[in-house]
């Protein structure tokens, strides 16, 4: 089953007061539909974005995204696992520009996929989309 483009993270331009860590919308991965393959294509677009984008995936049928106090911090959400980091697992947060997009193929029968932006202090990020 080929999906249309699912938005993990909409185009967002930094403005004063924007949170430096933003969790995008979770979308159904290819594993949500039994027998539909094992790869998802992720497209990441940005302009002068100094941070990282972590793609997280889950095998749970309904992974937790909140708790009584609000959003579970992305790095301790036990229902989610980090499966890829844009740009190239960078730890120095050097500014990245890719207005045409960076694309990866994510292999796995993940039921849910989401994007987490960290270090968002300037520039534009997104859209980040997924298709399969």
- Encode the chain (132 residues) as per-residue pLDDT tens digits: 556 689 999 999 988 888 888 889 899 999 988 767 789 999 888 887 888 889 999 998 888 766 555 556 666 677 889 999 886 434 444 455 555 678 889 999 999 999 998 888 888 888 999 998
Which residue reads 């996929």 in tokens?
A: 113
In a domain, 1, yes or no: no
- Secondary structure of the chain in the HEC alphabet? CCCCCEEEECCEECCCCCCCEEECCCEECHHHCCCCCCEEEEEEEEEEECCEEEEEEECCCCCCCEECCEECCHHHCCCCEEEEEECCCCCCCCCEEEEEEEEEEEECCCCEEEEEEECCCCCEEEEEEEEC
Question: Using CA atoms, how far apart are residues 41 and 131, in angstroms rounded to an integer?
Answer: 5
Which residue reads 């403005």 in tokens?
A: 15
Domain span holding position 19: 6-65+74-131
Domain of residue 94, CATH code: 2.60.120
Can you give the pLDDT at residue 61? Answer: 87
Can you give the pLDDT at residue 71? Answer: 59
Q: Tokens representing 11?
A: 């185009």
The predicted model scores a pTM of 0.82
Can you give the pLDDT at residue 38? Answer: 87
Question: Using CA atoms, how far apart are residues 21 and 55, in angstroms rounded to an integer?
Answer: 13
Number of domains in the chain: 1
Can you give the pLDDT at residue 56? Answer: 93
In a domain, 15, yes or no: yes
Task: Please state whether 100 falls in left (phi above 0), alpha (psi between -120 and 50) or beta.
Answer: alpha
Determine how β-strand 39-49 pairs with β-strand 124-131: antiparallel
């Amino acid at each position: 089953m080929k999906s249309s483009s699912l938005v993990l993270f909409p185009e967002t331009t930094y403005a004063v007061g924007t949170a430096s860590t933003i969790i995008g919308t979770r979308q159904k991965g290819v594993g949500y539909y039994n027998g539909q393959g094992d790869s998802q294509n992720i497209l990441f677009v940005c302009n002068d974005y100094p941070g990282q984008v972590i793609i997280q995936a889950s095998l749970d049928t309904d992974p937790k995204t909140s708790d009584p106090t609000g959003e579970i911090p992305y790095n301790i959400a036990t229902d989610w696992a980090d499966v890829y980091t844009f740009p190239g697992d960078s730890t120095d947060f050097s500014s990245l520009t890719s207005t045409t997009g960076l694309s990866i193929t994510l292999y796995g029968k993940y039921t849910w996929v989401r994007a987490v932006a960290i270090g968002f202090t300037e520039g534009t990020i997104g859209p980040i989309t997924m298709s399969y």
